[in-house]
């Protein structure tokens, strides 16, 4: 049975205090630290890269879940492995040889994740799932924080959960206390949330709520 893993998106944090923000999230119960890596090409925004992960690594023991919204993700595997990333999640749409990229990620010592955009059919990931540590179903268009959750993407999560009951299925985009139950019941167990955690009056309560709802949605046998 899969368990809830809550991954606050540091894109919504105070970047001037990034290490402190990471430790604050871990102290509030976060399981992963979700790092949004954008190159200004695959997506229009530009955020952080491997040098920042490298600087951050000595200041946190947290699991660095790096979501690369970049063109040609192959060129960054060695850099992120050297920087200390724990999981390297690339977009199916950004590579021409996903199998080789998964192999390269694993050989580098990182876990491998694959992400798909809202308009990408879920069946493109099926052949890779037995080799992936995580599949990320985007519930907004990648590139910016603060977008609205797309509930129609839950059909993809349901299909993945039915076919791969032990797989870590991550959802990212617009998750909040009002829609977390929809995602949890569909089968998502790794929850990425930025604004709804960082802008909450009590971020720890939001993390606890997400965990409770996700774990209660899991089958009991």
DSSP annotation string for 155-182: HHHHHHHHH-TTS-EEEESS--TTTHHH
Q: What is the pLDDT of residue 145?
A: 66
Residue 130 confidence (pLDDT): 97
Residue 23, classified by CB atoms within 10 Å of its CB into exposed (0-12), middle (13-18) or buried (19+), is: middle
Could you give the 3-state DSSP secondary structure of residue 154? helix
Q: State the CB neighbour count (10 A cutoff) for residue 152.
A: 8
Q: How far apart are CA 18 and CA 125, in angstroms?
A: 33
Task: Please tell me the total count of domains within the chain.
Answer: 1
pTM of the entire predicted model: 0.96
What pLDDT score was predicted for residue 92?
98
Binding-site entries for a divalent metal cation? 34, 36, 67, 172
The candidate with the shortest Cα–Cα distance to 15, out of 1, 36, 29, is: 36
pLDDT score at 120: 97
Q: Which residues are catalytic?
A: 36, 172
- Cα separation, 184 vs 44, whole angstroms: 30
Token couple for 97? 């040889």
Q: Supply the range of the domain harboring residue 51.
A: 5-217
Give the three-class secondary structure for 125.
helix
Binding site for substrate: what residues are annotated? 9, 67, 143-146, 174, 194-195
Query: Using CA atoms in the order 54, 58, 63, 69, what is the torsion angle rounded to 10 degrees?
Result: -20
Question: Which tokens is 187 given?
Answer: 């089968």
Instruction: Return per-residue pLDDT of the chain as tens, 221 residues.
Output: 899 999 999 999 999 999 999 999 999 999 999 999 999 999 999 999 999 999 999 999 999 999 999 999 999 999 999 999 999 999 999 999 999 999 999 999 999 999 999 999 999 999 999 999 999 999 998 876 677 899 999 999 999 999 999 999 999 999 999 999 999 999 999 999 999 999 999 999 999 999 999 999 987 65
pLDDT score at 122: 98
Residue 90 structure tokens: 């690339």
Beta bridge partners of 115: 91, 136
Q: How many CA within 13 A on the CB side of residue 179?
A: 20
CATH code for position 128: 3.20.20.70
């Amino acid at each position: 049975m899969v368990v809830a893993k809550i991954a606050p998106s540091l894109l919504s944090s105070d970047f001037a205090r990034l290490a402190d923000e990471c430790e604050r999230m871990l102290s509030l119960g976060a399981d992963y630290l979700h790092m949004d890596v954008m190159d200004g090409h695959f997506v229009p925004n530009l955020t952080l890269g491997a040098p920042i992960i490298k600087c951050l690594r000595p200041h946190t023991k947290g699991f660095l879940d790096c979501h690369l919204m970049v063109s040609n993700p192959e060129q960054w595997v060695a850099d992120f492995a050297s920087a200390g990333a724990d999981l390297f999640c690339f977009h199916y749409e950004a590579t021409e040889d996903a199998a080789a990229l998964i192999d390269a990620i694993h050989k580098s010592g990182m876990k491998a994740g694959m992400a798909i955009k809202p308009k990408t059919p879920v069946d493109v990931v099926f052949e890779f799932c037995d080799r992936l540590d995580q599949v990320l179903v985007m519930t907004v268009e990648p590139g910016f924080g603060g977008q609205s959750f797309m509930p129609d993407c839950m059909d993809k999560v349901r299909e993945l959960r039915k076919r791969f009951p032990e797989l870590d299925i991550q959802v990212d985009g617009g998750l909040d206390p009002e829609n977390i139950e929809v995602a949890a019941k569909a089968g998502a167990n790794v929850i990425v949330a930025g604004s709804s955690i960082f802008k909450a009056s009590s971020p720890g309560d939001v993390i606890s709520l997400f965990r409770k709802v996700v774990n209660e949605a899991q089958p009991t046998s």
